[in-house]
Structure 1
Amino acid sequence: MVKIGVIIPARNALPWIWEMLDSVQAQTHPAQAYIAEDRSDDGTYERLRENPHLYAGLKRNRRRLGWAGSLNAAAALALADGCDAVFTASADDRLHPECIARCAALLDGDGGRDFVVPYARQFGEADHVQASLPDAGLDDFVRWPPLIDKALIRREVWENLGGYSLKATPPGTYGTAEDWDWWIRVWKAGFTRYAVVEEPLYFVRVHPGQLSDTRGQHHAATVDLLAKLHPDLPWSAESRRWPPQHRTTRRAP
């Protein structure tokens, strides 16, 4: 059986992380949580240390690393513990009980795949389904990522790419769209054998005010940075427009 680690960056997640950890333990395919705590000031780390039965690995960053750096730190814990694949997650979300089982079956099915992406469904301030394209090509990435950032990724893929790139974080932020850069690098490395579970198995918490103009303020800077990192792609003014034409999001029924 494939050993799977759910890798979780956590900062000031005290009100929500227990729901995520409970959902990991409730998986029908065994999975364990690995947490990189990013210098919280709300007691998250202290409370986690009091509940070691909820995770297989916990590390507190010596300095604040942001989303990408913390995700890498959590992945390092999982891989050091012998995990064959990692599932990227966020501390304030939750998993459907069948999330890991459904993804793992596709990861090893049909000759094996590099990664598997499930649909996600928002809850809280919004109720959209976040879909992913089952046949994405590299040029699809110049408008907006055609895949969501939550996926079950084979160990070999993660190690080959070295995790998320800290170079993809715009100055002055601790994370915006590093998954955008990640997927571009995945495609360039040739890891394009993948599957999409066309059913919401991951649930994304949308906090009040999260869908404001704040994200838009960083969007153009993010695209400018990606254009420097990947000058071979056909970036355009449309790429910098906010909100983007997100072809992979639709309102939930």
Structure 2
Amino acid sequence: MKIGIIIPARNALPYLKEMLNSVQAQTRPAHAYIAEDRSTDDTHEWLRDHPDLYAGMRRNRRRLGWAGSLNAAAALALADGCDALFTASADDRLHPECIARCAAVLGADGGRDFVVPYAQQFGEAEHVQASLPDAGLDDLVRWPPLIDKALIRREVWEQVGGYSAKATPPGTFGTAEDWDWWIRVWKAGFTRYSVVETPLYFVRVHPGQLSDARAEHHAATVDLLAKLHPDLPWTAESRQWPPQHRTTRRQG
């Protein structure tokens, strides 16, 4: 199984080397594919000068935001023959065993559609981001029951169609497109998954990130998702911030 780690990157110059080094340090081989989203801090120039750190890189012709850039990175990986994709962020890093542990579970017991590891915050916060091992659509109207970092089989990504730019509220370049993604994954019937209850992915929390005006973005996202998925039982509780859920999630 060839595994691609798909990484959107915008103004990530201070952190990108750490992420790419963590990809190269994996005990099971994996390949980085990067979509550079019109950075203004020389991220593109740095990537261009370090081709040994990734298997594929493209610069978006215009700024696409989180969802569009993730899809662009995925397209690079799929075109290069990857059988599974691991979603990542340019300012984070992977545990050396992340891909090996997730890949082993993905192929166990007849196979899984995707595998989600626990994540560990670092920087301004140090919470563990957990995911539910038995989530259903009812959980998805309150808050995403899974974090947005996962190892996903190629056929799942292709059939669901990647992340949707329609799930980005106006005036933002990305808030909770993973929420819409998981809803569409469930609707497509890809519910055979596992959670690795060990922090294998490290999420950087930047100074001031958790104090951002996230409640406004959250409410706007719920209103948008309710329009995209009117068949789900959205309630006033869905719009509440912080959400009431068993998982610990990043709030910015």
Q: Which residue of 1 aligns with 2:52?
A: 53
Q: Which residue of 2 aligns with 1:9?
A: 8
- Name which of structure 1's ranges 37-46 and 209-218 shifts more when overlaid on structure 2: 209-218
Q: Which residue of 1 aligns with 2:193?
A: 194
Mapped pair 1:81 → 2:64: no
Q: CA deviation at 1:69?
A: 0.3
Q: Which residue of 2 aligns with 1:106?
A: 105
Runs of at least 4 residues off by over 6 Å: none
Q: CA deviation at 1:110?
A: 0.5
TM-score by length of 1: 0.97
Secondary structure of the equivalent of 2:196? Answer: strand
Gaps (5+ residues) in structure 1? none
Q: CA deviation at 1:194?
A: 0.3
Secondary structure of the equivalent of 2:140? Answer: helix
Aligned partners of 2:212, 2:89: CA distance in 1, in Å? 22
Q: Which residue of 1 aligns with 2:243?
A: 244
Q: CA deviation at 1:161?
A: 1.0
Q: Which residues of 2 match residues 1-253 of structure 1 at below 5 A?
A: 2-249=1-248
Aligned partners of 2:129, 2:13: CA distance in 1, in Å? 25
Q: CA deviation at 1:211?
A: 0.6
Aligned partners of 2:212, 2:19: CA distance in 1, in Å? 27
Q: CA deviation at 1:17?
A: 0.6
Secondary structure of the equivalent of 2:8? Answer: strand
Aligned partners of 2:31, 2:213: CA distance in 1, in Å? 33
Q: CA deviation at 1:215?
A: 1.9
Secondary structure of the equivalent of 2:211? Answer: coil
Deviations along 1:32-82, one digit per CA (max 9) or x if unpaired, are 100000000000000000000000000000000000000000000000000
Identical counterparts, % of pairs: 86
TM-score by length of 2: 0.98
Aligned partners of 2:47, 2:212: CA distance in 1, in Å? 33
- Name which of structure 1's ranges 239-248 and 94-103 shifts more when overlaid on structure 2: 239-248
Secondary structure of the equivalent of 2:138? Answer: helix
Secondary structure of the equivalent of 1:138? Answer: coil
Aligned partners of 1:64, 1:184: CA distance in 2, in Å? 25
Secondary structure of the equivalent of 1:73? Answer: helix
Aligned partners of 2:248, 2:40: CA distance in 1, in Å? 34
Q: CA deviation at 1:249?
A: 1.3
Aligned partners of 2:228, 2:188: CA distance in 1, in Å? 15
Equivalent residue letter for 1:57: G
Aligned partners of 1:248, 1:119: CA distance in 2, in Å? 10
Report the RMSD for the aligned CA atoms in angstroms.
Answer: 1.1
Aligned partners of 2:80, 2:213: CA distance in 1, in Å? 38
Secondary structure of the equivalent of 2:209? Answer: coil
Q: CA deviation at 1:213?
A: 3.5
Aligned partners of 1:60, 1:110: CA distance in 2, in Å? 39
Aligned partners of 2:109, 2:191: CA distance in 1, in Å? 14
- Name which of structure 1's ranges 20-29 and 208-217 shifts more when overlaid on structure 2: 208-217
Q: CA deviation at 1:246?
A: 3.3
Equivalent residue letter for 1:67: W
Aligned partners of 2:107, 2:211: CA distance in 1, in Å? 39
Deviations along 1:78-132, one digit per CA (max 9) or x if unpaired, are 0000000000000000000000000000111110110000000000000000000
Secondary structure of the equivalent of 2:195? Answer: strand
